[in-house]
């Protein structure tokens, strides 16, 4: 396991028991519905990749998919495995046979991963006509991009890459994935709550993140509808959800 993976495993272990309360997006019905609509009718085995507490896997299960999960963090896997079988391991070296899954979904984890390696593993474990759905919070536009990047780098020292929607699409294309559907979704978040549930950070870093949003440049605040309500800093987060298939030349 790489050093980064060891650190991520440790960080998420401290957050697993309160993870679902740490941000609205984790349980947001609309965001989950967007993923389920793209997944379509159940047609076999699905993998909730980097499943955390398994919110995506649980939704797939309720739609009739035969679900498994994979997460590097044992305590996250301990929670999701109450609902479906979960393996503990790395997305960069998946403990699965080739052509095992009809569907893979990976929500909000690509920023921590060596995506070239993970996408190569995804193409290995997907059946040839399988579907891969990936989603991330990304900037809305150039108006919030640079300041959001500063915020994310301050909040998450383990961030490997700050993604824009264009970067994500380029990474997918480079690894032979073709985008067949592209959805966006907005989820309103409390920055104070986000920080309250980040025990790995010092109080001064948590305060800095709240202050960076509260005192952001005007273009950022306008784009993300930043407002302070009863002392709580609220803003919109922009989600991109992409449905992909292996391009013809990349099928094994």
Ligand X SMILES: C[S@@+](CC[C@H](N)C(=O)[O-])C[C@H]1O[C@@H](n2cnc3c(N)ncnc32)[C@H](O)[C@@H]1O
Residues interacting with ligand X, by CB under 6 A? 5, 8, 12, 26, 50-52, 55-56, 70-73, 76, 90-92, 107-109, 112-113
Are the CB atoms for 159 and 152 separated by under 8 Å?
yes
Question: Cβ closer to ligand X: 94 or 165?
Answer: 94
Question: Cβ closer to ligand X: 34 or 73?
Answer: 73
Task: Return the residue matching tokens 């907005």.
Answer: 186
Are the CB atoms for 101 and 45 separated by under 8 Å?
yes
Q: Whole-number minimum distance, CB 148 to ligand X, in Å?
A: 16
Reported as type and span, the H/E element at residue 224 is none
Question: Cβ closer to ligand X: 107 or 224?
Answer: 107
Q: Whole-number minimum distance, CB 19 to ligand X, in Å?
A: 7
Q: Whole-number minimum distance, CB 248 to ligand X, in Å?
A: 28
The Cα 148–Cα 210 span in angstroms is 12
The Cα 91–Cα 124 span in angstroms is 12
Query: What are φ and ψ of residue 96, in 5° steps?
Result: -130, 150
Q: Whole-number minimum distance, CB 83 to ligand X, in Å?
A: 12
Handedness of CA 239, 8, 170, 106 (dihedral sign): negative
Question: Cβ closer to ligand X: 2 or 211?
Answer: 2
Closest residue to ligand X, based on beta-carbon distance: 52
């Amino acid at each position: 396991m790489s050093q980064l993976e060891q650190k991520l495993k440790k960080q998420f272990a401290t957050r697993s028991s309160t993870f679902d309360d740490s941000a609205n997006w984790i349980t947001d019905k609309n965001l989950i519905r967007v993923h389920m609509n793209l997944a379509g009718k159940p047609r076999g085995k699905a993998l909730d990749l980097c499943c955390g507490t398994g919110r995506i896997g649980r939704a797939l299960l309720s739609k009739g998919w035969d679900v498994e999960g994979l997460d590097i963090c044992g305590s996250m896997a301990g929670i999701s495995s109450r609902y479906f079988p979960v393996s503990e391991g790395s997305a960069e070296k998946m403990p699965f046979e080739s052509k095992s899954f009809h569907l893979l979904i990976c929500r909000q984890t690509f920023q921590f991963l060596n995506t070239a390696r993970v996408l190569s593993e995804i193409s290995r474990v997907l059946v040839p006509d399988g579907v891969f759905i990936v989603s991330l919070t990304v900037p809305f536009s150039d108006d919030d991009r640079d300041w959001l990047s500063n915020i994310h780098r301050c909040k998450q020292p383990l961030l490997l890459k700050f993604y824009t929607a264009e970067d994500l699409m380029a990474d997918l294309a480079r690894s032979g994935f073709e985008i067949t559907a592209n959805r966006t979704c907005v989820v309103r978040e409390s920055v104070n709550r986000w920080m309250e549930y980040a025990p790995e950070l010092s109080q001064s870093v948590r305060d800095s993140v709240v202050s960076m949003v509260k005192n952001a440049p005007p273009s950022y605040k306008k784009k993300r509808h930043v407002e302070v309500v009863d002392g709580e800093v609220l803003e919109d987060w922009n989600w991109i959800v992409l449905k992909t298939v292996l391009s013809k030349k990349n099928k094994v």
